Amino acid sequence: MVMNILPPAPTRLKIVLASASPRRRELLQMIAPAFAIAESRNVDESHPNDIKAPDVPVFLSRIKADAYADYIGDSMVLITADTVVICDDKILEKPKDADDARRMLSALSGRAHTVVTGVTLRTTTRSISFSETTTVHFSALSDSEIEDYITIFSPMDKAGAYGIQEWIGAIGISGIEGDFYNVMGLPLHHLYRELKNLTI
C-alpha cells in the first residue's frame, strides 16, 4: 500500500498564491501541502525607467500584492512574485514571436546571465519583500538547436525564451550559481524560511 505523505506546512497561516503561472503553482506545492489560488486580477506591470533591472522584480511583486489589498483576510498570507531574465543589464521579457525568441536565445548562447525573482508576502498587518538572484551559464547553442527548441517547445510564455526544466536546460545549461528553482520562477529555499518565520 502506497501512502501519500505530505510535507509539513511552513506556516499555520492560510497560504494564497496570486499567480497565473502553472510552474509557480507546481513549485509552491513542493514546500506547502495546501494553498489556495487567488482569482486573477488585471495589474499594470509597467515600471519607472530609472529602476535598475535587478530591482524590477521586487517592485512588480509589491504592485501585484497591492492589487489584492482588499482580498487579504485574517490568518492569511498572500504570495506574489515576478521573475526577470537579465542579460547585458537589460531585461529579456517573454518573447513576442519566434523571431524574438531566436534573438534572445542567440544573446544567451555561450554566456552567463542572471535570473532574479522578487517575492512579496502580505498579511493584514505585514508586508515582506525579498529577491533572489541566480547566475545561469549557457554553452554555445547551434542555430539548429535554437530552432528545434522554439519549434518543439514554443517558449513564448517564458521570460528569456527558455525553461531551465525543459530540453534546452538539459543540453544547453552548463551550470548555475544559486537556487535552481529560482530560475523556474520561485526561490523555494528563501520562501520557505520567510514563511516559517512569518507571524502576525
Active site residues: 82
Residue 46: alpha-carbon gap to chain centroid: 17
CA angle 132, 75, 13 (to 5 degrees): 50
Q: Which residues are registered as beta bridge partners of 37? A: 17
Q: For residues 38 and 14, is the Cβ–Cβ distance under 8 A?
A: no
